[in-house]
Structure 1
């Protein structure tokens, strides 16, 4: 069983909550508790538990109603096990229909509970893996575009893969750094071995170390062990704590490491591809990136240009993502007219390929008709321009405010923009801006920002 899983126990009886917490922590789980539906909703958003144990009979909102709320909101990606001391067959059937993994009667048999939890967690892992395989099978596996720039980049990857050295990928957010990392791996001698993607932005240094090097007392292998024989992709390398950077460099140079709390060396054979959107000279000068790690990673540099530098690829990208969303999300097919394509070719694309992908998805979801005309595209681009202008005007007016108010105004505009860019997904914003998720939730509440109201 994955004993590092985070369990949320929802029960209005404090004795049961505390007992469950004590027992599950003795089994090695991380445990959070909630006494009612409101607390459960909050904790579910903040900690994103791996499994929820949900009592049916609670004073404010009963467990089945809360389960239905999550089901109707599309939030059944976390397995839920229902608990009740006086339920019925009808209640159990209703809970199962709404997506509950299982139903356990009180008083709870601990042995039965642990077995049920083990199966639920294993099922969740398999479901995520299967979804990831299906999604990856439908997504781009090769950089799209026939421009000279993209052709030259593909040729550069061929030269890079004549060797097995580290690679450092730079480029603006949304330009395709992860895509090129996968492309390098898929065309290397390690293509049949794992490609392991690790994101460290927003993590506490201790969690970064646990993510990379694992824990001696945990059954979960570290990212380095998962990537053994293959490729480890570190997307936000400058966001690594400098002490973790030193430990990583030592590991890469020696090809072995020590787990946290361990004394035995763990040998590895790993190729590292790192990426960043930071200015590297500035990152080194301000101490965010160790110079020795930079020199190790930068043996073979690869810069991904912004989309505005190869705008001639825009029509091909529009066509690709249209077909992607039609096949992947069953959206209705719509064709961009020549006038719409021409306008988008001459757009600046500050968000690069990611912005183009989001625009295509939005037009397929919200639009009508078989074609996407210029008059449908123009308002979206104009809206982006107004947002940029408003941001500039707000910045000018901030100079007349006291420091605290100016900082709050900037943070509110900044976080609202980030939420819009990722469709209101707080977890993605936390990763993008380098904040712990719980810290970000507190800041959003303090600034009175509702993520649901900031979706594009």
Structure 2
């Protein structure tokens, strides 16, 4: 795809020179020499980027006024300001008004090309984020009615509009990224990029280059892509100790250096981090810098495992069914015996495992019938396994005598219902269809203290 660039400068020679440079790099260009021409050209040419001179002789509007005008029409279009008589105040004001960057004349050709390429890449990334947000907005909602779900929604409303750094703790698959995306979507940066830097999946030897960039190539670094928006350091505990110092410097000064350069670059980003490890223990072991930990741990959020929020499972199931690629507008319901198993299962893979399970069931039962009822028989056989927390051993109920198997299931089932109704024994008794006195006798026989599970 050939990107279109509008060049606005009162000097025709400058317009011609920039046009020739950009044309050699396969860009399509158009030039204007005053504000009237520029506005007309902007509407007809529909550029992907604008290169705009500050001083426009014999023009009704100067470059900074045009910058504001174009940004009112299209706030996402990248604009590079150029000037041969610039001041620091002018450059700062231009950036505040929405300019992507500021170049002084005479400018280096390579620098112009690099900034042009990055400005367009950043603009397209923002557009993609906006489109993805429209498509997937519901998928980033926090689903549930548990006390955690209620509390976290209130917390996010308070912290999202701020610039405070957030450190999200939680086991794998528990929804840490969803929390991070909610923070971004509720923040003042919601129209800017949300960039994920996965500390665990990138080659440790190239983390610095991927994160901050290199003078050896012109690829946008993660920090550059996130400029103005939010960057999520996913599994921050896995970042090498030697890179932690560089990250700390960036947090302290908002400046960084690319690999192979001594020049300082700046980037305005909000930092969110996630981890499934206890960072305080990692600090004690010497695997994580204490000064970096305290910089990141400004607003800690702890996400419980799905096992500890069984009352959210029904709403999550309904959400995953309706958003599954295999839904096909069928009438799908989950029977009570299936919910009994789902709500008493340990969920080692947490929410991600539940989502995958729903997809799996819909694939396996995606026949021509218009109605699908998911009962316990349709669940995987290993869902009958229960975890013994005291011994860390797995016991398959299918291998137990019927009396022991029944006790194991009843114990897990009743504990999940007590948690689900926050210890309200009247509601528990009503839901499971037992008299309250009979329920207490059952709890006593199974040695369950309801006070431990409120």
Counterpart of 1:314? 313
Q: Is the 8 A contact 1:322 1:333 kept in 2?
A: no
Counterpart of 1:337? 335
SS of corresponding position for 2:200: coil
Q: Name stretches of at least 5 consecutive residues in structure 1 with no aligned partner.
A: 2-121, 394-456
* Change in CA separation of 1:226 and 1:329 when aligned onto 2, cut-off 3 Å: farther
Aligned equivalents of 1:215, 1:171: Cα separation in 2:
33
Q: Is the 8 A contact 2:200 2:238 kept in 1?
A: yes
Counterpart of 1:305? 304
SS of corresponding position for 1:247: helix
Deviation at 1:163, TM superposition (A): 2.4
Deviation at 1:307, TM superposition (A): 1.1
Q: Is the 8 A contact 2:168 2:176 kept in 1?
A: yes
* Change in CA separation of 1:216 and 1:377 when aligned onto 2, cut-off 3 Å: same
SS of corresponding position for 1:334: strand
Matches within 5 A, 1:22-421: 133=132, 137=136, 140-326=139-325, 330=328, 334-367=332-365, 370-377=372-379, 379-382=381-384
SS of corresponding position for 1:260: coil
Measured against aligned partners, the alpha-carbon deviations of 1:104-163 in whole angstroms (never above 9, x if no partner) come to: xxxxxxxxxxxxxxxxxx9xx99x969983895276121111222101011111222252
Counterpart of 2:100? none
SS of corresponding position for 1:140: helix
Deviation at 1:211, TM superposition (A): 1.3
SS of corresponding position for 1:218: coil
Q: Is the 8 A contact 1:215 1:260 kept in 2?
A: yes
Q: Name stretches of at least 5 consecutive residues in structure 2 with no aligned partner.
A: 2-120, 396-454
- Structure of higher CA gyration radius: 2
Aligned equivalents of 2:268, 2:227: Cα separation in 1:
5
Aligned equivalents of 1:301, 1:160: Cα separation in 2:
11
Runs of 4+ in 1 over 6 A off after TM superposition: 383-386, 389-393
* Change in CA separation of 1:213 and 1:130 when aligned onto 2, cut-off 3 Å: closer
Instruction: Tell which has more relative contact order, 1 or 2 (C-alpha 8 A, sep 6+).
Output: 1
Q: TM-score, normalising length from structure 1?
A: 0.54
SS of corresponding position for 2:265: strand
* Change in CA separation of 1:288 and 1:342 when aligned onto 2, cut-off 3 Å: same
Aligned equivalents of 1:340, 1:237: Cα separation in 2:
37
Measured against aligned partners, the alpha-carbon deviations of 1:368-389 in whole angstroms (never above 9, x if no partner) come to: 5611112112624137879xx9
Counterpart of 1:30? none
* Change in CA separation of 1:336 and 1:380 when aligned onto 2, cut-off 3 Å: farther
Measured against aligned partners, the alpha-carbon deviations of 1:163-204 in whole angstroms (never above 9, x if no partner) come to: 211110001111100000000111111111111011021433
Aligned equivalents of 2:309, 2:381: Cα separation in 1:
24
Q: Is the 8 A contact 1:334 1:364 kept in 2?
A: no
Q: Is the 8 A contact 1:205 1:244 kept in 2?
A: no
Counterpart of 1:9? none
SS of corresponding position for 2:148: helix
* Change in CA separation of 1:249 and 1:319 when aligned onto 2, cut-off 3 Å: same
SS of corresponding position for 1:173: coil
Q: Is the 8 A contact 1:256 1:265 kept in 2?
A: yes
* Change in CA separation of 1:206 and 1:284 when aligned onto 2, cut-off 3 Å: same
Measured against aligned partners, the alpha-carbon deviations of 1:24-50 in whole angstroms (never above 9, x if no partner) come to: xxxxxxxxxxxxxxxxxxxxxxxxxxx
Q: Is the 8 A contact 1:340 1:374 kept in 2?
A: yes
Deviation at 1:329, TM superposition (A): 7.0
